Amino acid sequence: MPLYYLTTPIFYVNDVPHIGHAYTAVNADALARWHRLIGDEVFFLTGTDEHGLKVARSAQEHNCTPQEWTDTTSARFSETWKRLNISNDDFIRTTEKRHHLAVKTFLERIRDRGYIYVGEYEGLYCVGCEAYYGEGELEAGSLCPIHKRPAEVLREENYFFKLSAFQEALLDFYTANPQVIRPQSKLNEALGFIRGGLEDFSISRNKKSVSWGVEIPWDRAHVVYVWTDALVNYLTALGYGQEDGRWESWWPAVHHLLGKDILRFHGVYWPAMCMAAGIDPPGHLQVHGWLLVGGEKMAKSRLNQIFPGDLADEFGVDGLRYHLLRDNPLGPDGDFTYEAMTQRYNSDLANNFGNLLSRVATVIEKGCGGVGPAPNPSSNLKGEVESHLGVVIEAWGRNSPSEGLEATWKLIQLANASLEATEPWKMQSGPQLDLVMGDALEILRIVAILASPAMPGACQVLWDAIGLEGSPGSAQIPQDLKWGGYCGGIQVTRRSPLFPRKK
C-alpha cells in the first residue's frame, strides 16, 4: 500500500483559529481523505506551535503562564478541527515531551556534524513572524511587510546554523527535483531566495530574552529558536528521536501543505536543516495563497477575522468546507465574501446536490414504493459518467480539490438534466421508471464517493438515504466507481433538505 504522509503547518497558539487557518486544515483534510479513497496508507498530521516570544507575550497579556495559555488555545484548535471534521491521525503540540526529545536529538546531530557555532547577533526582529529581517526587506518606518508593525532590535549571543554551507546543495537538489515545490512559481521564488545568497541564521535565544522554548541540549542558558523547534515537528510525529525507527519508512516522502508566507522556512531552511542532520530533504511542498478579507490577510490586529464556527453555524460544516475548497483553488490568493459563499451554497448545494437527492427520493417514494431500483447496465449515461471520472481523478491527483469538485458537479448536472428530459415524476410505475431512477441513484452513489473528501457529513447522509451500508469514505477508487455498483432493491428514504436554500 503506498504511504502518504501529509502535514499542515503547526498553528501558532497566540490566537484562536480563523478561516484562514481553517482553509489550510480543510484542504489538507480533503487531500488526506482522497488518498484514503485511492487506497493509500495515510498519516495526516496537524498540531500547534507553542513556543516563542509571540506566545509568551500573549500569555502575559492574558495574565497566565505560557503553559496555561497554550493549553487553552491549543484546545481551541483541536476542538475547531473536530467540529470541522478534520480527520487527522495525530495532533502534535510542541510542548510535548516527545517533541522536546526529537528537537534535542536533531540538534545534537547537526552540531556533531559541524553545522552549529556560537556567534553574536544583532538584527531587526518581527515578533509576529518570529523572524529576523534585513533592512531592505522592511517597509518604511521599519514595518514588517506582513504584520505592518515595527520590527524590534534584538542583540545577543546565539548559536548559529551554517545555512550558507547548503547553497550549492539546495540548488542541486531543486535542479534535480523541480517537482518538489508546487506550483512552479513558488519553486522559482525559493530558487530566488537561494540564489540571492544564504546567510547563517541564529537557532537559539538567550533565556534572558526568551525563556519559553526547548532548551539547547548542551547549553541550558539558551532555548531553541521557535522556527527551528517547530519544523522538527514533522519528524517528531514519526517517532524521530525514539527507538522505534518508524520515521525512516515515511520519510522523505512527505507532503507539506503550507501558505506562501512560510515558503522560505519550508523550502530553504528546512531542507538545509535536514541535509545537515544527514536526512533527505522533504519530498513535496504544496504552497497555497491566502484567504483574504477585503483584500487583506486576516489578523487579530486588523480586526478582520472570520471564525469558522460562525460560518459552520450558518452554512453547516460541509457548506463551509465546500466553499473553502471549491472557490479558493490551492495556489493564488482568494477573497472571502459572504455574498460569494451564499451564492455558491445556493447554486451548488441547495439547487443541485440537495435538490437531486430530494427529487430522486420523492419519485422513488411515489412511483417505486420507496425501493431504489438498480441502474440500467447499458444506460447512455454510463459513458458520459465515465468520461468525467477521469477528469475528477486527475484533478485530485494534481492537488486541485477545486477542479475535482467542479468536475464532480458535472455529474450532478448530468443527472438533473437527464431527469428534466425524462420527467420521471410524470411516468407510470414500471420497468421504464425503474431504469431512469436506477441511473439517478447510481450517479448519486458515485457523487457521494467523489464528494466525500470535501463533504464527509453530507455524503454520509446521502449514502444512508439511498439505502447503502457503510460509508462513502470507505469506498475504493477506482473499483467502486464502476457503473452498476448500486445494487437496487434497497430502501430509499425521503428526508428534509440536505442544504436548505439561503435568502
Binding residues for ligand MSP, rule: CB under 6 A, are 9-12, 20-21, 23-24, 49, 230-231, 233, 258-259, 261-262, 290-291, 297-298
Least separation in angstroms between CB 391 and ligand MSP: 26
Q: Cβ distance 279 to 271 under 8 Å?
A: no
Instruction: Count the alpha carbons within 13 Å of 92 in the hemisphere toward its beta carbon.
Output: 27
Closest CB to ligand MSP among residues 27, 418 = 27
Residue whose CB is nearest to ligand MSP in the complex, by number: 259
Non-local (6+) Cβ contacts of 243 within 8 A are none
Residues 6+ apart with CB under 8 A from 438: 372, 373, 374, 375, 376, 486, 488
CB of residue 212 to ligand MSP, shortest distance in Å: 14
Nine cell digits for residue 128: 509576529
Phi, psi for 475 (deg, rounded to 5) = -70, 165
Please report, to the nearest 10 degrees, the dihedral formed by the alpha carbons of residues 23, 24, 25, 28 taken in order.
Answer: 120
Q: Is 453 helix (H, G, I), strand (E, B) or coil?
A: coil
| Helix axes of 456-465 and 355-367: crossing angle, nearest 10 degrees | 10
CB atoms within 10 A of CB 207: 16
Distance of closest approach, residue 238 Cβ to ligand MSP, in angstroms: 14
Count of residues in the chain: 503
Cβ-based nearer residue to ligand MSP, 235 or 415:
235
305 or 362: CB nearest ligand MSP:
305
Shortest CB 306 distance to ligand MSP, Å: 9
* Active-site residue set: 18, 21, 126, 129, 144, 147, 297, 300
The answer, yes or no, to whether the previous bond of 252 is cis (omega within 30 of 0) is yes
Q: What minimum distance in Å lies between the beta carbon of 176 and ligand MSP?
A: 25
Closer to ligand MSP by Cβ: residue 183 or 484: 183
Nearer to ligand MSP, 309 or 472 (CB): 309
Beta carbon nearer to ligand MSP, 62 or 300: 300
Residue 270's SS3 state is helix
Nearest by Cα to 170 from 200, 199, 190:
190
Give 140: exposed, middle or buried? Use CB within 10 Å, 0-12, 13-18, 19+.
Answer: exposed
- Minimum distance, C-beta of residue 398 to ligand MSP, in the bound complex (Å): 20
